[in-house]
Structure 1
Amino acid sequence: MANYKRILVTGADGFIGSHLTEHLVRQGYDVRAFVLYNSFNSWGWLDHIPPEVQRELDVFCGDIRDPYGVRSAVSGCDAILHLAALIAIPYSYHSPETYIDTNIKGTLNIVQAARDLDVQRIVHTSTSEVYGTARFVPITEDHPLQGQSPYSASKIGADQVALSFHRSFGTPVAVLRPFNTYGPRQSARAVIPTIITQIAKGAREISLGNLTPTRDFNYVADTVRAFEALLLARDAEGK
């Protein structure tokens, strides 16, 4: 375990973020969980983790779009795992500005606070969507970036903002780009939950839509271990 006295996880209330937060606590890390403030007093998926894990958390309720709140959340943390984002592609088509505010400006708030407060490592979460429809397979890191939706464009922008702080100021940013994570707490709209739901309802034929794409799926526990590995990896900054 690196010398991280406290780790901030943004988006801790989400699918991957809640699993990551739970894992880090079980590994003995001191975790501050950044969740979206709401009037329901809900911590999102963190409401469903075991009580003994919840008790170990320092929960910060705020909004990633607010630079003052972000700075307060970052204060006292040695590392940041930045997962907070709007992710629903269909919603991005009619409300693109919210994706710019949350994904790009939110990331700017994180890296600016990290730079000012001398954070030792920032892991920024990207997405396979930055590549758009594959021009060749298997997709490599050299595949062209394509803003195929406002969501994917906002994530490309967020990635570049994060990396620009490394290039400009030496801010210790590393980028993780998960592909097709699945598992408990995932949105029911995703393909594997859709298949499971149809089977559970007794369907004799499964409706999948377009059958031509091929995908590699990653179980959420494996994605979580990738986050921890990148948190601890040497020579990962700026990559």
Structure 2
Amino acid sequence: MTSAPLAAVTGAEGFIGSHLTEALVASGHRVRAMAQYNSFSSYGWLETLSADVLEHVEIVLGDVRDPGSVRGLAEGADCVYHLAALIAIPYSYQAPHSYVDTNVTGTLNVLEAVRALGTPRLVHTSTSETYGTAQTVPITEDHPINTQSPYAASKAGGDRLADSYHASFGTPVVTLRPFNT
């Protein structure tokens, strides 16, 4: 008997990450879900999932800015879903270093773990904010990148790293750019 595939999710405590975790369990996956470490041991939106779902989820507190946390999360995973990000555009003007640390360095840590471990697939989550103000409607994947905030620039930096790891090392990564969710 084979065990269910293991999906690892960064940013699982967020709105999208918690619903992705729920959907993965519903589709038969075991999930290792990283929630950002905090002194309250809070699991964010994961706390709203039913006990039936959570029995298939291993929640780990960690931080994508820490390579060891990320490697531990990704160990043995069939796919890593990278959703961890520092969000909120207005605060990015006040604390751009924090956005780079999480959204660029955190993404680098995920890419390095996936590469080192030979993880078969990485799904990297970006944002439509990388496109800036629409130059054409509808916005397609060919739309120019035009970052207009430190947040958008940090997400575009993570995207470029993902692209470079695919081109340089063959890292099996795909980037999603959701719009208002």
**TM-score relative to the length of structure 2:** 0.96
| Structure 1 residue 74 corresponds to structure 2 residue 84 | no
Within 1, Cα distance between the matches of 2:25 and 2:174? 22
CA gap 1:18/1:96 in 2 versus in 1, 3 angstroms: same
User: Which residue matches 1:61?
Assistant: 61
2:93 is paired with a residue of what secondary structure? Answer: helix
Q: CA deviation at 1:4?
A: 7.1
Q: CA deviation at 1:125?
A: 0.3
Q: CA deviation at 1:41?
A: 1.2
Preserved contact between residue 9 and residue 32 of structure 1 (Cα < 8 Å): yes
| Structure-to-structure mapping, 1:74-153, within 5 angstroms | 74-153=74-153
| Structure 1 residue 45 corresponds to structure 2 residue 53 | no
Within 2, Cα distance between the matches of 1:175 and 1:17? 15
Preserved contact between residue 4 and residue 79 of structure 1 (Cα < 8 Å): no
- CA RMSD between the two structures: 1.2
Within 1, Cα distance between the matches of 2:136 and 2:76? 44
Within 2, Cα distance between the matches of 1:162 and 1:178? 16
Preserved contact between residue 9 and residue 31 of structure 2 (Cα < 8 Å): yes
User: Which residue matches 1:25?
Assistant: 25
130-139 or 167-176: which moved more?
130-139
Gaps of 5+ in 2: none
101-110 or 132-141: which moved more?
132-141
Within 2, Cα distance between the matches of 1:140 and 1:87? 23
Preserved contact between residue 65 and residue 106 of structure 1 (Cα < 8 Å): yes
Within 1, Cα distance between the matches of 2:18 and 2:101? 23
Preserved contact between residue 4 and residue 28 of structure 2 (Cα < 8 Å): no
Within 2, Cα distance between the matches of 1:24 and 1:74? 16
The AA in structure 2 aligned to 1:12 is A
Within 1, Cα distance between the matches of 2:139 and 2:4? 34
Gaps of 5+ in 1: 182-239
Within 2, Cα distance between the matches of 1:69 and 1:24? 21
**TM-score relative to the length of structure 1:** 0.73
Within 1, Cα distance between the matches of 2:5 and 2:22? 17
User: Which residue matches 2:160?
Assistant: 160
The list of structure 1 runs, each at least 4 consecutive aligned residues, that deviate by more than 6 angstroms after superposition, is: none
Within 2, Cα distance between the matches of 1:120 and 1:74? 11
Q: Deviations over 1:27-52 (max 9, x none)?
A: 11011001101111110000111112
The AA in structure 1 aligned to 2:80 is I
Q: Deviations over 1:152-205 (max 9, x none)?
A: 000100001011100000000011111111xxxxxxxxxxxxxxxxxxxxxxxx
Preserved contact between residue 121 and residue 173 of structure 1 (Cα < 8 Å): yes
Q: Deviations over 1:93-149 (max 9, x none)?
A: 100000000000000000111000000000000111000011121111111101200
Within 2, Cα distance between the matches of 1:60 and 1:37? 8
Residue correspondences, number: 179
